[in-house]
Chains A and B, each alone.
Chain A
Amino acid sequence: MSSKQQTANSKNSFKLVLGWLYPRQMSTYGDRGNVLTIWQRCRWRGIEVEVKEIDLKEKINPAEIDFYFFGGGQDQAQKIVSSDLQRYKKDDLRKAARLGAVFFAICGGYQLLGHYYRPALGDELTGLGLLDVVTVAGNQRMIGNIVVELNEKLKLNKENLLVGFENHSGRTYIGKRAAALGKVVVGYGNNGEDRTEGAYQGNVFGCYLHGPILPKNPNFTDFLIEKALFRRFGKIQLTKLDNDLEDKAHEVAIERARESR
């Protein structure tokens, strides 16, 4: 690839390798919709996508994967996954992050990208530390529709609201090296206190939004896809897609959030 600015279409042979972390343990609440969305929005543009499911006990080749998706899971699953990460994947995932791979994690996955999750009872779950956040168990579950205004430093030009559904009791607090993904407009967010939601640090992103988040927030999805293609192909202008249905679902979700809170 010689020129820096290119257009993605069927003539170019762009390819994205998507690593789906623990699809069996960490995929409640329709999180697989996110994988489907990345895959389809690439495919519709002629970008080939290879989805690699990364299971328990498997090792990772950090040079190979461009985009890691990490969904949410239940307490028991999260415990199993936390120890598997430490034992089989920690070093390679850290290396992948240094090589510029994009990480996008939801809920339980988000918590495990941080330093630790401290439950009310039992041992602390160690995270990967790719995000400077920590999570502690809370006694109130934060459940409901949520609307977030994206951090303006991310410079997404069009849409700046994220919509989704949160459902967590963990309270996440952001440290100095990470920034909030956005500001809560309606809902609880990271901890129900500081009005922040999600976090990012370099190319590592995490948040509490199910829904799933990516189908209903197409501009954010494309932003992540562009970032993921960058390390192999440089800056790419993605072709426009018809987003009517996506925008409609986005609007309905905002309406429902305003009505139900």
Chain B
Amino acid sequence: MKGVDARLFSAISAAKLLKLTIKALGGGGTAAPGLLAEYIDPSALRKLAKYYQGSVIVTGTNGKTTTSRLLGNILSVGKISFIHNRAGSNLLRGLVGTLIDNFTFTQKDKNLALLEVDEATLPAATSATNPKIIIFNNLFRDQLDRYGEVDKIRSIWQKAILHLDSSTALVLNSDDHSVAHLASSSRSRAIYFGIEDKNLSLGQLPHASDFTSCIACEGELRFDEVYLSHLGKYRCASCGLVRPKPDVAAEQIFLQEEKGFMAKIRTPKGLLELKVGLPGLYNVYNALAAVSAALALGIGLPVIKKGVEGSLAAFGRTEKISLEDNKNLFIALVKNPAGFNEILRTLFSKKEQKWVLIAINDLIADGRDVSWLWDVDFEVLAGKTKKLWISGIRAADMALRIKYSGINLDTAVEENIEAAIEKAIEKMPVGETLYVLPTYTVMLALKKILAAKGASEQFWED
């Protein structure tokens, strides 16, 4: 292709060659090619982005992968050609790698780049890729060992969008005080999404709430409704700051436990009724984010509806897998208190007792600090489990958390994940489902274990 400069050319070639070599040697997806390209040409991302038709960036603590998939599905249905990065490749090197993978020296049409971007990588991705849309889903405490503090992430986001103009639309969660007001420091357009269904209000702030004081004046926030962690309808009593009214609002939501949800959504283009196979209130937020972004791209409601309703969960993000003996696995990734609380709320809101396996690792991708387990409200498990298996490198910490919750559960600790899953499935009667709640690296291990068992591979592509 014309105009590829020499340095970028060698960066692309070297990365592609390295990728082929790794593949030939039997290796899987790695960050190495992107890292190499970045090393050869530090402005690789900026230069590569010129060969794409701008980007749509998805960031936030929770829901990046699911929101990207939902939006990707809408784009596919709408026949808009796009490329996207794999779940987990959301650091700079992953973005560079993705843009190189989809780059051919002979390409004619420019694709849209749909990029799931790590919270701390947002500034670099924003300045390099000419974003049409940036989705800010939410901001929770997560992997504080990596970033230090949640306040810090918020302030780097604020700086990253300072110089954007109205050619970029910010899709903001109006219920999350920490992202809703980002637009005030930018000239970009803002589109707000949120929940307006009082029936789902929790009544009071749960302990794992991160932003309880006003970002403008530091006064204490009042919540008329709380939907999830610190997400809700808030106002500041001292300075009068209020939640922006959402442009895209879920007004009637019916949560159907692990099956999914139905919602009536008010949009500027009219009413949208959705039936989605992704469970939990957090997935309502993900769907709202994807719908808002699609509307901002000028996509019509029928296409949006078809795209969202046809979406499957990504691996490990709440899906059911069938095993032998009519036994099932339900896997839901857990990575921070807000997400874990929502999964507990989704799975254990009914009286019925479940077979459960919680597995906690403390590798870098899981977060090395396991303190966060103590911010999760495990007390809701009281009387809701038939048996609780506890596994992973930090099984002892998890078991201790349950011990001090004061609830009496039949628990068993087995550090080794493979052994734990074997035993848990074996001890469970035919026809039952094991609910597995793993951290990230346990989930990757599970994927391998299940593939070796020949379990269905329909979810594996990313």
Q: Is the CB of B369 within 8 A of A167?
A: yes
A residues near B209, Cβ cutoff 8 Å? 24
- Knowing A25-B212, A36-B374, A79-B218 touch, does A144 contact B400 (C-beta < 8 A)? no
A143 within 8 A of B: yes
B-side interface size class: 35 or more
Contact of A141 among B141, B148, B370, B393 (CB under 8 A): B148
Which B381-408 residues have a C-beta within 8 angstroms of A?
393-394, 396-397, 399-401, 403-406
Q: Is the CB of B396 within 8 A of A248?
A: yes
Q: Is the CB of B213 within 8 A of A144?
A: no
Q: Is the CB of A211 within 8 A of B371?
A: yes
Which A224-258 residues have a C-beta within 8 angstroms of B?
245-246, 248-249, 251-253, 256
Tell me how far the C-beta of B399 lies from the nearest C-beta in chain A, rounded to whole angstroms: 6
Tell me how far the C-beta of A83 lies from the nearest C-beta in chain B, rounded to whole angstroms: 10
A residues near B207, Cβ cutoff 8 Å? 27, 32
B258 within 8 A of A: no
A80 within 8 A of B: yes
Nearest CB in chain B to that of A165: its residue:
B369
- Knowing A36-B374, A246-B400 touch, does A74 contact B151 (C-beta < 8 A)? yes
Q: Is the CB of B404 within 8 A of A29?
A: no
**CA of A175 to CA of B207 in the docked complex: distance in angstroms?**
35
Contact of B396 among A37, A167, A249, A260 (CB under 8 A): A249
B residues near A216, Cβ cutoff 8 Å? 397, 400
A-side interface size class: 35 or more
- Knowing A29-B371, A145-B368, A249-B397 touch, does A37 contact B404 (C-beta < 8 A)? yes
Q: Is the CB of A29 within 8 A of B397?
A: no
Q: Is the CB of B374 within 8 A of A32?
A: yes
A212 within 8 A of B: yes
B372 within 8 A of A: yes
Q: Is the CB of B212 within 8 A of A29?
A: no
Tell me how far the C-beta of A67 lies from the nearest C-beta in chain B, rounded to whole angstroms: 17
Which A1-40 residues have a C-beta within 8 angstroms of B?
24-25, 27-33, 36-37, 40
Q: Is the CB of A245 within 8 A of B371?
A: no
What is the 8 Å Cβ interface bit string for chain B, positions 158-178, against chain A (1 contact, 0 not)? Answer: 000000000000000000000
Q: Is the CB of B406 within 8 A of A24?
A: no
Nearest CB in chain B to that of A56: its residue:
B220
Ordered by A's residue number, 25 sampled pairs between the chains whose C-beta atoms are within 8 Å are A24-B209, A24-B212, A28-B141, A29-B144, A29-B375, A36-B405, A37-B404, A77-B213, A80-B213, A141-B148, A143-B148, A143-B368, A143-B369, A144-B368, A145-B368, A165-B370, A167-B145, A212-B371, A215-B401, A216-B397, A248-B396, A248-B399, A251-B396, A252-B397, A256-B393
